[in-house]
Chain A
């Protein structure tokens, strides 16, 4: 395993955007940072700035107003980058699928690499998803080189 590959896998920085969910997934993502789950063990940091991030974690369904925000955040991230759809709503629209203002899952707007189901997914599931995303991240990175 090359140094770059190893570093990439060991240092995933996250930017989180809450599209239009119910907060449940958002707090579960935050909970991942806290002592019980402590994702910093894997080098995961929540950066809050798309320009610094490798992984975009999105919760909630996209609606007519926030899809542009989501797209903009995605575009501002430097390559290689991956997108995680966290929770049922982000995957498909979930319980809000029939709401008039909801477009559906976030894959309607940006390419999604890993879907994490659940309402809300448990922190363990989310961590699992991030680890899966890392594989994709590395594939994308190596392809670019």
Chain B
């Protein structure tokens, strides 16, 4: 598995090649980026089969700087959790880059988009596979900066406003994370995550420890837009171009926020419900607040993408409830929700593109009076919405099972009921669009456009087929292993350092 650096190297390479080569022929940028995302997808699927051969963790030492006996070199660690994230990132980035081929006809600066897009993919992949704390920060910033730029890509009034607000809040998070890293370094004098874990395991958990945790939590909660740190998200996600909204909502907040946080608190700091129940209760309560409040706000939204953005906040709440319950089932639920939500919400945001192009607006009220019929997009949207609301047999149903099961097993019966009942709210606000925009019988039918249609079909196929094979294949081979990686805590450090 020594191709591991390719996950970041390939998109970075693409990002540097594209400005040069697109001078020759602008369409070349499409080809390069699509080839790269396809390669990444192939690599990540290949890793799915390859990783079990290498055991639970594969460690790649950059520049052959051995991490033993002194962990000085920078490493990439690739365990099952990283595998899950890489797989999700590359599935969705594949779909989005495919989609963007036709979508970008609306915009002028093709190659700029592709450069930023690949930078973001590189950053996200880097976050998922890195084993070094500072590298984590760097990758977060790479993806974040490119996302700031991409949100402002349309250069309209609202785009710039959203981007500015997003940047300020996002960078505060970034700085907080940097501060926390500085503190960690001050405390441990190492940046290797496994080594940090070992060091913290030996020490008692004083106020400084908790201060670091709070800073990290603060930073990553902003990144993952949990209530009350969500304010940037509805603006940014609703103003970005459709594929970028899909990427941001589908994977960005999860990789940069949820993944990084859970990697740190579970694997590095070794927190679990036994030694830090108040911490997890905090996550749980914020998660529930997110679910409820963002759900109700989404119900009243009048803008297609803004509604979906609020829905994302609500769904992140579900993920955090899963993390907050912190038992095997709930974390399985949270991780599978990351998977399901990435595909589902990505699909929903992608449908916004052709709709906006056809109707010239995303205002639901205007769309409901739009004269043409968009049955294909309507069906795609509805399937995605049903999956997100947790209706079988789609993929989104299984996270719900595991989250509720986790709540029951965690003796949090009220949480189980809340999770169940508020998925009704999810259904209600998502179907609001189906009902108002797509439920028409008369009018001229809008024709689908080629690469957009293919990406839709790809995602719908995934949602459906993964839903069918969830319990038989996906759960035992991918998600429960990833859950084990999370739940086993500082076992991660031992596995990394044994190499």
Chains A and B belong together in one complex: no
